[in-house]
């Protein structure tokens, strides 16, 4: 259940400046003067806002966008529009072939023997494989760019609350500038950054299953954000759905458990 906490007043301009200052300080402590911010660019609100914040904090020469279509992807035009709008360097790494080869490798059994076990390439496995491959690409790029790079997580507080991310996929990264902000707040920050409205306000989609986020979740981000910030949700069925998802996915937000000596 969401607790009715007291949050500081939200002002998109002030919070934008706060995030930019945070990124400047974080990079000063976690890299050299030329260390790059490496951002996976999907053409959606979160990656667009994250890349714009990094550009404002570090300058366009220190931000690298990585576009990672899985074969052919319709939203790549939006991703290209974003990197061109910001004037940042970018690289396109198509994960289509490694994605298919990994699925083939997972299904392949070399020799039938007692060591084999039942294994199903499920729809969920298939959908989560792409984000994990993309994260591997981002860290490879971060290691390969001159002066090194740091991978920027693009998840927001709304997605994190209900676990709408892939563990060790898009939920990974070195720093998370949007993790404290709901979707509603991210949209407002995007507007304050002067980003194209078509990118910031297009229907959010994970790009994996052909549905919007809200279709998959069964409630709107506006309702979720209100619940997160106030603890109020008038629809009991929706409230139960949110609470169930939150409880189920808490492990995604926790540090790796260790045995204490």
pLDDT value for 80: 96
- Quote the pLDDT of residue 211: 65
Distance between CA atoms of residues 79 and 8, nearest Å: 33
More confident residue, 215 or 110: 215
Res. 237: pLDDT tops 80: yes
Instruction: Quote the pLDDT of residue 227.
Output: 96
Model pLDDT for residues 64-90, shown as the tens digit of each residue: 999 999 988 778 999 999 999 999 999
The CATH T-level fold of domain 12-207 is Rossmann fold (3.40.50)
Q: What does 165-199 look like in DSSP terms, one character per residue?
A: S-TTTTT--SB-TTTTS-HHHHHHHHHHTT--HHH
Q: What is the helix (H) or strand (E) element at residue 2, kind and residue range? A: none
pLDDT in tens, 144-187: 999 999 999 999 999 999 999 999 999 999 999 999 999 999 99
């Amino acid at each position: 259940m969401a607790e009715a906490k007291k949050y500081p007043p939200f002002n998109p301009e002030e919070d934008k400046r706060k995030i930019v200052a945070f990124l400047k300080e974080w990079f000063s402590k976690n890299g050299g003067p030329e260390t790059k911010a490496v951002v996976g660019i999907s053409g959606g609100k979160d990656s667009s806002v994250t890349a714009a914040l990094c550009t404002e904090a570090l300058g366009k020469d220190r931000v690298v966008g990585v576009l990672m279509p899985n074969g052919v992807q319709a939203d790549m035009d939006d991703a290209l529009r974003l990197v061109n709008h910001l004037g940042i360097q970018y690289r396109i790494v198509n994960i289509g072939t490694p994605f298919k080869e990994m699925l083939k490798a997972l299904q392949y059994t070399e020799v039938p023997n007692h060591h084999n076990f039942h294994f199903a390439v499920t729809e969920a496995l298939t959908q989560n494989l792409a984000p994990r491959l993309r994260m591997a690409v981002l860290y490879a790029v971060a290691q390969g760019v001159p002066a090194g790079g740091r991978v920027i997580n693009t998840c927001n507080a709304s997605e994190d609350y209900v676990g709408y991310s892939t563990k060790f996929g898009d939920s990974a990264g070195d720093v998370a500038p949007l993790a404290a902000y709901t979707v509603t707040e991210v949209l407002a920050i995007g507007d304050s950054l002067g980003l194209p409205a078509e990118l910031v306000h297009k229907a959010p989609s994970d790009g994996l299953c052909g549905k919007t986020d809200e279709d998959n979740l069964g409630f709107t981000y506006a309702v979720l954000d209100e619940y997160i910030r106030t603890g109020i949700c008038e629809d009991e069925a929706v409230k139960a759905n949110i609470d169930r998802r939150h409880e189920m996915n808490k492990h995604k937000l926790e540090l790796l458990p260790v045995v204490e000596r």
